[in-house]
Amino acid sequence: MATAFDAYAQSRRIVTYHSVQIHGGAVAEMHAYLSDDVDEQPQFPGGDSAMLQFINRERTYPAAEYNAGVQGRVLCSFIVGADGRVHNVEVVRGCTEGLNQEAVRVIRSMPRWKAGKVDGSPVPVLCILPIPFRL
């Protein structure tokens, strides 16, 4: 039997992700909108230029990759929750383990974003962000 949520999900693309509650240890199935399917995109405080400044300031080149001259771009996905918090950070396409871990660390350290909205209400949104590493 189709629910109202199922009907709404057909009109907008929604992804399912799993969230683990640390204290309870339970795995909860959650839903997030794809970034193309929201009325208002999530926004880093201060906009894209502030986000680039944040990434450049917070990113630390791992010593092993720096010494080996490794460069690249780590593509990460994450959810900006309805409360603006960043969570469920994952590497979609990575480079080395060191660069991957640093990209995830930088995204996890981001401040709260302005949440994405659908019909005026804040909703969780799946975002994709490349983190470049250049020497």
Q: Quote the number of domains for the chain.
A: 1
Q: 24 lies in a domain?
A: no
Using the predicted structure, report yes or no on whether residue 70 has a pLDDT greater than 60.
yes
Q: 105 lies in a domain?
A: yes
- Give the count of beta carbons closer than 10 Å to the beta carbon of residue 14: 19
pTM of the model: 0.81
Q: 16 lies in a domain?
A: no
How far apart (Å, rounded) are the C-alpha atoms in residues 87 and 81? 7
- Residue whose tokens read 């949440």: 115
Q: 20 lies in a domain?
A: no
50-68 confidence digits (pLDDT tens): 999 999 999 999 999 999 9
73-84 confidence digits (pLDDT tens): 999 999 999 999
Using the predicted structure, report yes or no on whether residue 23 has a pLDDT greater than 80.
no
Provide the CATH number for the domain around residue 114.
Answer: 3.30.2420.10
Question: Which residues form the domain of 86?
Answer: 36-133
Q: 104 lies in a domain?
A: yes
What are the residues whose beta carbons fall under 8 Å from the beta carbon of 26, sequence distance 6 or more?
20
Q: 122 lies in a domain?
A: yes
Using the predicted structure, report yes or no on whether residue 6 has a pLDDT greater than 60.
no
Q: 89 lies in a domain?
A: yes
